[in-house]
Amino acid sequence: MGRSRREARWVVALLTGAMLVACTSSEEDEATDSVPTTVSSISPLLWKSGAETPFDYQLGDPYTPPGGVGLVVRDSSAEPVPGIYNICYVNGFQTQPSDREYWLRMRRDLVLDGPDGEPVIDDDWPDELLLDTSTSDERTRLSEVVGKAIDECARKGFRAVEIDNLDSFTRSRGRLSADDNLDFAALLVRRAHDRGLAIGQKNVAELSTRGKRTGFDFAVAEQCVQFDECGSYVEVYGAYVLDIEYSDTLGTPFERACARPGTPAATILRDRQLTPAGHRNHVYEHC
Protein backbone atom coordinates (compact mmCIF):
# COMPACT_ATOMS: atom_id res chain seq x y z
CA MET A 1 0.00 0.00 0.00
CA GLY A 2 1.37 3.38 -0.96
CA ARG A 3 2.16 5.92 1.70
CA SER A 4 2.10 9.70 1.50
CA ARG A 5 5.24 10.19 3.53
CA ARG A 6 6.81 13.43 4.70
CA GLU A 7 10.22 14.63 3.62
CA ALA A 8 12.00 15.79 6.75
CA ARG A 9 14.99 18.08 6.58
CA TRP A 10 17.33 15.85 8.52
CA VAL A 11 21.03 16.41 7.95
CA VAL A 12 23.47 14.40 10.05
CA ALA A 13 27.20 14.93 10.10
CA LEU A 14 28.39 11.49 9.01
CA LEU A 15 31.81 10.46 10.30
CA THR A 16 33.76 8.42 7.77
CA GLY A 17 36.08 7.08 10.43
CA ALA A 18 33.39 5.87 12.81
CA MET A 19 34.16 2.66 14.66
CA LEU A 20 31.77 -0.19 13.93
CA VAL A 21 29.90 -2.10 16.59
CA ALA A 22 30.26 -5.85 16.10
CA CYS A 23 26.99 -7.70 16.29
CA THR A 24 26.19 -11.19 15.07
CA SER A 25 22.90 -12.23 13.55
CA SER A 26 22.30 -14.57 16.48
CA GLU A 27 22.55 -11.60 18.84
CA GLU A 28 19.99 -9.77 16.72
CA ASP A 29 17.64 -12.74 16.92
CA GLU A 30 18.12 -12.95 20.68
CA ALA A 31 17.32 -9.26 21.09
CA THR A 32 14.24 -9.62 18.91
CA ASP A 33 12.90 -12.73 20.62
CA SER A 34 13.38 -11.41 24.16
CA VAL A 35 10.91 -8.50 23.89
CA PRO A 36 7.29 -9.10 24.98
CA THR A 37 4.53 -8.47 22.44
CA THR A 38 1.69 -7.45 24.73
CA VAL A 39 0.46 -3.91 25.22
CA SER A 40 0.96 -4.42 28.95
CA SER A 41 4.70 -4.10 28.33
CA ILE A 42 4.94 -0.32 28.71
CA SER A 43 8.40 1.18 28.54
CA PRO A 44 9.34 3.50 31.41
CA LEU A 45 10.82 5.74 28.71
CA LEU A 46 7.37 6.64 27.34
CA TRP A 47 5.24 9.64 28.19
CA LYS A 48 3.13 8.81 31.23
CA SER A 49 -0.35 9.88 30.22
CA GLY A 50 -0.61 7.85 27.02
CA ALA A 51 -3.53 8.84 24.84
CA GLU A 52 -4.52 11.68 27.16
CA THR A 53 -1.64 13.79 25.81
CA PRO A 54 -2.52 15.91 22.73
CA PHE A 55 0.42 16.03 20.34
CA ASP A 56 1.65 18.00 17.35
CA TYR A 57 3.60 16.80 14.31
CA GLN A 58 6.19 19.35 13.18
CA LEU A 59 8.52 17.88 10.56
CA GLY A 60 8.46 21.17 8.68
CA ASP A 61 9.50 24.47 10.21
CA PRO A 62 9.22 24.26 14.02
CA TYR A 63 6.82 26.58 15.85
CA THR A 64 5.37 27.03 19.31
CA PRO A 65 2.92 24.14 19.87
CA PRO A 66 -0.75 24.95 20.52
CA GLY A 67 -1.84 25.32 24.13
CA GLY A 68 -2.41 22.03 25.90
CA VAL A 69 -0.07 20.04 23.68
CA GLY A 70 2.14 17.82 25.82
CA LEU A 71 4.10 16.03 23.10
CA VAL A 72 5.65 17.10 19.81
CA VAL A 73 7.43 15.28 17.00
CA ARG A 74 10.19 17.31 15.36
CA ASP A 75 12.91 16.70 12.83
CA SER A 76 16.30 15.83 14.28
CA SER A 77 17.72 19.09 12.90
CA ALA A 78 15.35 21.04 15.19
CA GLU A 79 15.56 21.65 18.92
CA PRO A 80 13.15 20.04 21.40
CA VAL A 81 10.45 22.14 23.07
CA PRO A 82 11.20 22.79 26.75
CA GLY A 83 8.80 21.36 29.29
CA ILE A 84 7.06 18.73 27.14
CA TYR A 85 7.82 15.28 25.72
CA ASN A 86 9.75 15.49 22.43
CA ILE A 87 10.14 12.81 19.75
CA CYS A 88 12.95 13.08 17.20
CA TYR A 89 12.36 12.10 13.55
CA VAL A 90 15.12 10.01 11.92
CA ASN A 91 15.03 8.63 8.37
CA GLY A 92 16.44 5.23 9.27
CA PHE A 93 16.09 3.11 6.14
CA GLN A 94 16.67 5.61 3.32
CA THR A 95 18.96 8.57 2.73
CA GLN A 96 17.91 12.19 2.99
CA PRO A 97 17.96 14.21 -0.26
CA SER A 98 20.66 16.51 1.10
CA ASP A 99 22.89 13.52 1.86
CA ARG A 100 22.51 11.74 -1.49
CA GLU A 101 25.90 12.65 -2.94
CA TYR A 102 27.69 11.82 0.29
CA TRP A 103 26.26 8.29 0.30
CA LEU A 104 27.11 7.78 -3.36
CA ARG A 105 30.70 8.98 -2.89
CA MET A 106 31.58 7.79 0.60
CA ARG A 107 29.13 5.01 1.57
CA ARG A 108 28.27 3.50 -1.78
CA ASP A 109 28.67 -0.03 -0.38
CA LEU A 110 25.74 0.59 1.99
CA VAL A 111 23.36 1.83 -0.72
CA LEU A 112 21.08 -0.86 -2.13
CA ASP A 113 21.75 -1.92 -5.72
CA GLY A 114 18.99 -3.03 -8.05
CA PRO A 115 19.30 -5.96 -10.48
CA ASP A 116 20.89 -3.54 -12.96
CA GLY A 117 23.60 -2.53 -10.50
CA GLU A 118 22.19 0.98 -10.12
CA PRO A 119 21.14 2.46 -6.76
CA VAL A 120 17.52 1.74 -5.86
CA ILE A 121 15.50 4.91 -5.29
CA ASP A 122 12.15 5.61 -3.71
CA ASP A 123 9.92 6.36 -6.70
CA ASP A 124 7.78 8.72 -4.61
CA TRP A 125 10.87 10.52 -3.31
CA PRO A 126 13.44 10.05 -6.11
CA ASP A 127 16.17 11.94 -4.22
CA GLU A 128 16.10 9.25 -1.52
CA LEU A 129 18.24 6.13 -1.89
CA LEU A 130 17.34 2.87 -0.18
CA LEU A 131 19.88 1.60 2.33
CA ASP A 132 21.05 -2.01 2.06
CA THR A 133 19.88 -3.99 5.10
CA SER A 134 20.26 -7.38 3.42
CA THR A 135 23.20 -8.79 5.41
CA SER A 136 24.30 -8.77 9.02
CA ASP A 137 27.53 -6.97 8.12
CA GLU A 138 25.72 -4.20 6.26
CA ARG A 139 23.16 -3.82 9.04
CA THR A 140 25.92 -3.47 11.61
CA ARG A 141 27.75 -0.82 9.61
CA LEU A 142 24.53 1.03 8.86
CA SER A 143 23.62 1.01 12.53
CA GLU A 144 26.72 3.07 13.27
CA VAL A 145 25.76 5.70 10.70
CA VAL A 146 22.09 5.95 11.67
CA GLY A 147 23.11 5.51 15.29
CA LYS A 148 24.95 8.84 15.13
CA ALA A 149 21.61 10.52 14.41
CA ILE A 150 20.03 8.75 17.38
CA ASP A 151 22.93 9.87 19.55
CA GLU A 152 22.41 13.46 18.42
CA CYS A 153 18.71 13.28 19.31
CA ALA A 154 19.66 12.16 22.81
CA ARG A 155 22.31 14.86 23.12
CA LYS A 156 19.78 17.56 22.25
CA GLY A 157 17.36 16.36 24.91
CA PHE A 158 14.73 14.50 22.89
CA ARG A 159 13.03 11.70 24.81
CA ALA A 160 12.28 9.35 21.92
CA VAL A 161 12.96 8.71 18.24
CA GLU A 162 10.63 7.91 15.35
CA ILE A 163 12.37 5.79 12.69
CA ASP A 164 10.95 6.32 9.21
CA ASN A 165 10.79 4.02 6.17
CA LEU A 166 10.59 0.64 7.86
CA ASP A 167 8.63 -0.28 4.72
CA SER A 168 11.58 0.33 2.36
CA PHE A 169 11.61 -3.39 1.55
CA THR A 170 8.35 -2.88 -0.37
CA ARG A 171 10.22 -0.56 -2.76
CA SER A 172 13.40 -2.65 -3.02
CA ARG A 173 12.57 -4.56 -6.23
CA GLY A 174 12.73 -7.77 -4.25
CA ARG A 175 16.23 -7.12 -2.89
CA LEU A 176 15.15 -6.67 0.74
CA SER A 177 12.69 -8.43 3.02
CA ALA A 178 10.67 -7.47 6.07
CA ASP A 179 13.02 -9.71 8.07
CA ASP A 180 16.03 -7.69 6.87
CA ASN A 181 14.49 -4.42 8.00
CA LEU A 182 13.28 -5.77 11.32
CA ASP A 183 16.74 -7.17 12.04
CA PHE A 184 18.18 -3.72 11.33
CA ALA A 185 15.46 -2.14 13.46
CA ALA A 186 16.57 -4.35 16.36
CA LEU A 187 20.00 -2.69 16.24
CA LEU A 188 18.44 0.77 16.22
CA VAL A 189 16.17 -0.21 19.12
CA ARG A 190 19.22 -1.27 21.11
CA ARG A 191 21.02 1.98 20.27
CA ALA A 192 18.04 4.12 21.29
CA HIS A 193 17.43 2.24 24.54
CA ASP A 194 21.12 2.41 25.41
CA ARG A 195 20.86 6.20 25.04
CA GLY A 196 17.78 6.34 27.27
CA LEU A 197 15.35 6.96 24.40
CA ALA A 198 12.05 5.29 23.57
CA ILE A 199 11.75 4.32 19.90
CA GLY A 200 8.69 4.23 17.66
CA GLN A 201 7.62 2.11 14.72
CA LYS A 202 6.57 4.26 11.75
CA ASN A 203 3.70 2.92 9.61
CA VAL A 204 3.55 -0.68 8.26
CA ALA A 205 0.52 -1.74 10.31
CA GLU A 206 0.90 -5.37 9.29
CA LEU A 207 4.25 -5.53 11.10
CA SER A 208 2.97 -4.17 14.41
CA THR A 209 3.20 -7.41 16.36
CA ARG A 210 6.65 -8.18 15.02
CA GLY A 211 7.68 -4.57 15.53
CA LYS A 212 6.72 -4.74 19.20
CA ARG A 213 8.64 -7.99 19.53
CA THR A 214 11.64 -6.28 17.94
CA GLY A 215 11.52 -3.72 20.72
CA PHE A 216 9.56 -0.72 19.44
CA ASP A 217 7.85 1.08 22.31
CA PHE A 218 5.12 2.98 20.44
CA ALA A 219 3.81 3.55 16.92
CA VAL A 220 3.49 6.58 14.67
CA ALA A 221 0.89 5.99 11.98
CA GLU A 222 0.07 8.15 9.00
CA GLN A 223 -3.51 7.97 7.76
CA CYS A 224 -4.52 4.85 9.66
CA VAL A 225 -8.13 6.08 9.70
CA GLN A 226 -8.06 6.67 5.95
CA PHE A 227 -6.57 3.23 5.28
CA ASP A 228 -8.62 1.47 7.99
CA GLU A 229 -5.49 0.23 9.76
CA CYS A 230 -5.71 1.79 13.22
CA GLY A 231 -6.84 -1.38 14.94
CA SER A 232 -3.65 -3.19 13.96
CA TYR A 233 -1.58 -0.61 15.84
CA VAL A 234 -3.87 -0.17 18.85
CA GLU A 235 -4.14 -3.91 19.41
CA VAL A 236 -0.38 -4.06 19.90
CA TYR A 237 0.64 -0.64 21.25
CA GLY A 238 -2.52 0.29 23.15
CA ALA A 239 -2.71 4.00 24.02
CA TYR A 240 0.76 4.62 22.62
CA VAL A 241 -0.28 5.16 19.00
CA LEU A 242 0.11 8.58 17.40
CA ASP A 243 -1.94 8.98 14.22
CA ILE A 244 -1.62 11.80 11.69
CA GLU A 245 -4.42 12.29 9.16
CA TYR A 246 -4.02 14.76 6.30
CA SER A 247 -6.65 17.32 5.40
CA ASP A 248 -6.34 16.80 1.63
CA THR A 249 -7.05 13.06 1.67
CA LEU A 250 -9.04 12.15 4.79
CA GLY A 251 -12.31 12.21 2.87
CA THR A 252 -14.56 12.53 5.91
CA PRO A 253 -15.14 15.26 8.50
CA PHE A 254 -12.45 15.06 11.15
CA GLU A 255 -15.01 14.94 13.96
CA ARG A 256 -16.50 11.83 12.37
CA ALA A 257 -13.04 10.28 12.03
CA CYS A 258 -12.40 10.89 15.74
CA ALA A 259 -15.71 9.25 16.68
CA ARG A 260 -15.03 6.19 14.56
CA PRO A 261 -14.49 3.03 16.66
CA GLY A 262 -10.82 2.14 16.82
CA THR A 263 -9.48 5.61 16.05
CA PRO A 264 -6.54 6.27 18.39
CA ALA A 265 -7.31 8.94 20.95
CA ALA A 266 -4.02 10.59 19.95
CA THR A 267 -5.12 11.44 16.41
CA ILE A 268 -4.52 14.79 14.76
CA LEU A 269 -5.37 16.44 11.45
CA ARG A 270 -2.54 18.25 9.68
CA ASP A 271 -1.98 19.90 6.33
CA ARG A 272 0.09 17.86 3.90
CA GLN A 273 3.13 20.15 4.01
CA LEU A 274 3.09 20.43 7.82
CA THR A 275 3.29 24.21 7.59
CA PRO A 276 3.88 26.24 10.77
CA ALA A 277 1.19 28.09 12.70
CA GLY A 278 0.35 31.37 11.00
CA HIS A 279 0.90 30.03 7.49
CA ARG A 280 -2.17 30.33 5.28
CA ASN A 281 -2.19 26.57 4.63
CA HIS A 282 -1.71 25.54 8.26
CA VAL A 283 -4.18 22.95 9.55
CA TYR A 284 -4.12 21.50 13.04
CA GLU A 285 -6.91 19.78 14.97
CA HIS A 286 -6.83 16.98 17.51
CA CYS A 287 -9.44 14.48 18.64
Is residue 9 assigned to a domain?
Answer: no
Q: What pLDDT, on a 0 to 100 scale, did the predictor assign at position 208?
A: 98
In this structure, is residue 100 part of a structural domain?
yes
Give tens-digit pLDDT for 240-282.
999 999 999 999 999 999 999 999 999 999 999 999 999 999 9
pLDDT digits (tens, 9 = 90+) for 136-155: 999 999 999 999 999 999 99
Residue 11: pLDDT over 70: no
> How sure is the predictor about 224, in pLDDT bands with cuts at 50, 70 and 90?
very high
On whether residue 31 sits in a domain, the answer given is no
Assess whether pLDDT exceeds 80 at residue 32: no
Q: Is 154 among the domain residues?
A: yes
Q: What is the pLDDT of residue 41?
A: 62
- Can you tell me the mean pLDDT for 202-229? 97
Average pLDDT over residues 198-219: 98
Which amino acid, 252? T
Instruction: Give the chain's domain count.
Output: 1
Question: For residue 20, what pLDDT is reported?
Answer: 28
Give the pLDDT band (50/70/90) at residue 6: very low
Least confident span in 27-41, 53-67, 173-187, 224-238:
27-41
* pLDDT tens string 65-96: 999 999 999 999 999 999 999 999 999 999 98
CATH number at residue 72: 3.20.20.70
Q: What is the mean pLDDT of the chain?
A: 87
Q: What pLDDT does residue 92 have?
A: 96
Mean pLDDT in residue range 41-54: 79
Residue 8 within any structural domain of the chain? no
pLDDT at 285 over 80: yes
> Is it the case that residue 178 has pLDDT exceeding 50?
yes
Mean pLDDT of 110-114: 96
Q: What is the mean pLDDT of residues 116-145?
A: 96
**Domain annotation covers residue 26:** no
Structural domain includes residue 15 = no
What is the span of the domain harbouring residue 120? 49-286
Confidence of residue 131 (pLDDT cuts 50, 70, 90): very high
Q: Confidence band (pLDDT; 50, 70, 90) for 23?
A: very low
CA angle 85, 81, 64 (to 5 degrees): 120
Would residue 17 count as lying in a domain? no
